[in-house]
Amino acid sequence: MRATPTRRALLLGLLGGAASAATACADLDAPAVPNADPAPRPGPIEVKGTAAPEPPPLPPPPPDPAILIARYAGAVPHQWGTAVTGTRTRLVTPGPRVTLTFDGCGGPHGSAVDPDLITLLEREHLPATLFLNSRWIDANRELTDRLAANPLFELANHGTRHLPLSVTGRSAYGIAGTGSVAEVVEEVMVNHQRLQSITGIPPRWFRPGTAHCDEVATAIVRDLGEEVVGFTVNGDSGATSTAGHIQSAAAGSAPGSIVIMHLNRPHGATAEGLAAALPTMRAQGREFVTLGDAGGLA
């Protein structure tokens, strides 16, 4: 079994630049034989008259971090919060759609699991986007694999150390943020690569720890191939709200809302409040979709 690279090895690889990967497949054409026609290539394999689908194209590699460090050297941010320029906070073409998002924050007090919430999402067939921190994944690897295999769920990036995303070290809720472009790259890309190794596809969405960031950091995230996602509705206030408050917040979500809640607080009331809100939301015709199925974010 192939060994999993350490976080330090991943970061060294990131900051050392993107290495060029050699192609895995050589040209299958043999050298031409003099005075002989080349053998024809086989046509597409067909099943009952339908051509076999082509594999999806590989995603482009992320840019060399050294390029980003040079590009944003000296950039001075002027915004700070949960809805700065470049943060996506709602669906573009809402119709009746709402997206439920759940954070797994990780760390000494944030790596637990709310099993009632996971059971509720699966039992009620609720699509959701799950923002997972690298430390939460470390503590819950088997569950992460199960969630990744469930088509109801889309896994997204909640950072490597669950830090506010800043190029100047700004803090939120007493948590110091990243302090440079290089630290922003590390916070995003180490967990980006971790999630890609689990799901087989690069994550599309990033939510900073505490959901706070500056507008320079959001631009860096976009250059790294992800989009910063905030929220329209704060559903459970870090899983500290009462069930009644959570029910009211979720049931009051307008079409196009991105609702933020948490899956790592088993003693919170998130599952109870959401369960109570579902009959109202369904009576209102709300359609639950992941961010990837939402058709665009604003």
Identify the helix (H) or strand (E) that includes residue 13: helix 7-15
The sign one gets for the Cα dihedral 8, 14, 20, 25 is positive
265 pLDDT band (50/70/90 cuts)? very high
DSSP string, 51-64: EPPPPPPPPPPPPP
19 pLDDT band (50/70/90 cuts)? very low
Determine the CATH number of domain 65-288.
3.20.20.370
How far apart are alpha carbons 238 and 160 in whole angstroms?
19
CA max distance for the chain: 83
- Tell me the domain boundaries of the chain: 65-288
Query: Quick one: tokens of 174?
Result: 């007493």
Output the pLDDT for position 65: 85
pLDDT tens digits along 103-124? 999 999 999 999 999 999 999 9
**Looking at the predicted structure, is the pLDDT value of residue 264 above 70?**
yes
